[in-house]
Structure 1
Amino acid sequence: EAIKAVGWGTFTGFSVSAYLNSIQKHNAGAAGLFTRTGYVMPWLAALGGIYAATEGITSNVREEDDFWNAGLAGCVAGGLAGSRRKSISMMAGGCFVVGTTMGAY
């Protein structure tokens, strides 16, 4: 499941990178997809993989499949997303927002 999430994250990152590359002005051409905005691909792949792995691990450890697994996985992924800003408050906010959203979903 985590491998599939990494694949979808990479695909989504590629799409977002292509969009960002198309709206920026530069001389890199199509190579800008990887050189200028390519950081998005591994970032979204990591977020998807971390979310799926955390959800699977918590489901196996707790031996239950309920909203707590998705909430905890969302909290970890949101914390990782907030870590890009190098701020504890952004990590806590990302954990709260994404964890609450995924737990409620």
Structure 2
Amino acid sequence: MSSTVEEKAYHPQDAISATLKTTLITGAVGVFASSVQNTLQKRNYGPWGIVTKTGGTIALFASVGGAYQFARIASANLREKEDHWNALFGGFFGGAAIGMRARTFPAVLGYGVVVGTALSALEYTGGSLAGKGHADEADEFERRQKLRTNYRSPMAETVAELGEGRGIRGENYEERRRQRIKENYGIDVPASPQPAGP
């Protein structure tokens, strides 16, 4: 029995380097969030307040990002598949890191399940809440090719559809304009000289 859908060959990823990279990125976002929190404090803690007073935010962001990325890639490497289940496992561990702040087991479990479910659903729908769409790869290729070759309409076609005026001028517009002014108002408009070309 032959399958209509071909399985893509899975290539293992380096979980450690990806986790370190993600931890640094989310940690930098945490530094920004911590500095905003420090700025909004009623009491002035100085520039070191982002570490001493609101430094937990930096640790939270870094741990959530690191836990998510490590669990997602480790799951993909163990299962040898790249699908929405990896996002579920990664989201569970990332959410559990958020729940650790509450220091209760139900919070760890609850945050893990909520974040894992949300990220898995987002991954399952193709990163869009509207869904993946019904077009296959060939249709998408043809659509993009059509977009690349979709050039401007010829001026004659534009004039035929919209008419002249409002900045749209067809061939011999100036000559027809002079003729209309002459017929309607009796004023002779001199022809403007053509600009010298290179």
- Give the shorter-chain TM-score range: over 0.9
Q: Give the TM-score taking structure 1 as reference length.
A: 0.93
Match of 1:64 in 2: 81
Determine if contact 2:19/2:69 at 8 Å carries over to the other structure.
Answer: yes
Q: Which string of whole-angstrom CA distances, capped at 9 and with x for unpartnered residues, describes residues 8-66 of structure 1? A: 11111101101100110223221211111112112211111111011010000000000
Could you tell me how far apart the structure 2 residues matched to 1:23 and 1:79 are?
Answer: 28
Determine if contact 2:38/2:45 at 8 Å carries over to the other structure.
Answer: no
Match of 2:119 in 1: 102
From 11, 20, 30, the equivalent of 1:3 is 20
Pairwise CA RMSD: 1.0
Could you tell me how far apart the structure 2 residues matched to 1:75 and 1:84 are?
Answer: 15
Please identify which structure carries the higher helix content.
Answer: 1
The aligned amino acid for 1:22 is T
Confirm or deny that 1:80 pairs with 2:97. Answer: yes
Q: Give the TM-score taking structure 2 as reference length.
A: 0.51
Could you tell me how far apart the structure 2 residues matched to 1:26 and 1:80 are?
Answer: 29
Determine if contact 2:97/2:108 at 8 Å carries over to the other structure.
Answer: yes
Q: Which runs of 5+ in 1 are unaligned?
A: none
Q: Which string of whole-angstrom CA distances, capped at 9 and with x for unpartnered residues, describes residues 42-93 of structure 1? A: 2211111111011010000000000000011101111121121111111121
From 42, 53, 63, the equivalent of 2:70 is 53
- Give the percent of matched residue pairs that are identical in Structure 1 and Structure 2: 31
Moved over 3 A (4+): none
- SS of the residue corresponding to residue 100 of structure 2 reads helix
The aligned amino acid for 1:5 is T
From 48, 62, 77, the equivalent of 1:31 is 48
Structure having greater relative contact order (Cα 8 Å, sep ≥ 6): 1
Could you tell me how far apart the structure 2 residues matched to 1:7 and 1:83 are?
Answer: 20
Could you tell me how far apart the structure 1 residues matched to 2:97 and 2:48 are?
Answer: 28
Moved more, 80-89 or 61-70: 80-89
